[in-house]
Structure 1
Amino acid sequence: MKIETRRLVIRNFELSDKEDLCEYMMQRVHAEFESYPDFTAGKAEQEIAYRADSDEFFAIELKDSHKVIGNIYLGKRDFNAKELGYVLNENYQNKGYGTEACTAAMDYTFAHGIHRIFAECAPQNAPSWKLMEKCGLKKEAHFIKNVSFHNDEQGRPVYWDTYVYAVLNQEDARD
């Protein structure tokens, strides 16, 4: 996949994206929401190889500098649906890149016949659900303590609530 917007290119990962991937993934090691506590610079080689071979992860590249500033995730789900996920380098947040990238990826996905796109986030993660709303997704559900990304001091899972947002392909929404 390759999509160009005014400022971005959304494309498949390449092995040469390793340093940029490592930069923003290292920011996620201690992130409050969906952290990657096991990620290390030493694991970047393995992670970039996985993403370069994946048809679900896509790099978000700045057109002017060719820097990869994050990724879009479009995971295949049942019933002709895709799950949308996104991560942006902290240094590039609050500039509209996330909305621009997600909207373009969603448009592309719908143009290729997907029926439904959904995304999930913690209710406390206002930047994430606000991005979903800017992209046209609507809140459909609030699940109570259904996911865990962290353990407490005793090693027990700490459960979080989840908002579920979704949007239908406009071709299917007319039915």
Structure 2
Amino acid sequence: MKIETNELIIRNFELRDENDLCEYMLQRVNAEFEAYPDFTCQKAKEEVEFRAQSDEFYAIELKKEHKVIGNIYLGKRSFNTRELGYVLNENYQHNGYGSEASKAVIEYMINQGVHRIYAECAPQNTHSWRLMDRIGMKREAHFRKNVSFHKDTNGQPIYWDTYVYAILNPYEDDYSDR
């Protein structure tokens, strides 16, 4: 897949993306939401190799710098559905790149005939759910204590609530009135 927007190129990962991937993933080691505590630059080589072969992870490249500033995740789910996820390098957040990339991949997936695209985030992650609001996704649910990203001092999981957002393919027939 390759999608070009005004500022970005969303594309498959390439092995040359290793250093950029390492840079933004190291920022996630102690992240409040979806931490990667065991990530190291030594693991970046394996991770970029995995992502280069994946049809679910895509690099977000900033055109003007030719730099990978994050990734989009499009996990395949049952019933012709994709799960949307995104991570941006902290140095490039709050510039609209997350919205631009997410809108572009949603449009692409809908044009490919995907029925539904959904995303989840913690209610405390206001930047994430506001992005979903901005790009036209609708909040469908509030799941209580359904995910865990961290453990307490006794090694027990700390559970978080999540909001579920989704967007449906507007080109499909709506059978809800039958």
TM over 0.5: yes
Report the equivalent of 2:42.
42
Deviation at 1:173, TM superposition (A): 5.8
Name 2:13's counterpart in structure 1.
13
CA deviations 1:24-79 (Å, max 9, x no partner) are 00000000000111101110111000100100000000111110000000000010
Identity of aligned residues (%): 67
Q: Which runs of 5+ in 2 are unaligned?
A: none
Q: CA deviation at 1:174?
A: 3.8
The alignment's C-alpha RMSD in Å is 0.8
Is 1:92 paired with 2:73?
no
Structure 1: runs of 5 or more not aligned: none
Q: Under a length normalisation based on structure 1, what TM-score does the superposition of the two structures give?
A: 0.98
Paired position in structure 2 for 1:151 = 151
Matched, 1:60 2:55: no
- 3-state SS of paired residue (2:11): strand
Secondary structure of 2:172 counterpart:
helix
* Runs (4+) off by over 4 Å: none
* Whole-angstrom distance in 2 between the partners of 1:148 and 1:52: 27
Partner of 1:141: 141
**What is the number of equivalent residue pairs in this alignment?**
175
* TM-score, reference length from structure 2: 0.97
Does residue 77 (structure 1) correspond to residue 77 (structure 2)? The answer is yes
- 1:85-139 superposed Cα distances (whole Å, 9 cap, x missing partner): 0000000000000000000000000000100000000000000000111111000
Give, as a single letter, the amino acid of the residue that structure 2 aligns with 1:86. Answer: Y
Secondary structure, counterpart of 1:21 in structure 2: helix
2:108 paired with 1:108: yes
Q: Aligned partners of 1:38 and 1:153: how far apart in 2?
A: 17
SS of corresponding position for 1:161: strand
**What SS does the aligned partner of 2:79 have?**
coil
Structure 1: distance between partners of 2:110 and 2:14:
24
3-state SS of paired residue (1:75)? strand
Match of residue 3 from structure 1: 3
Give the distance between the partners of 2:159 and 2:62, measured in 1 at CA: 36
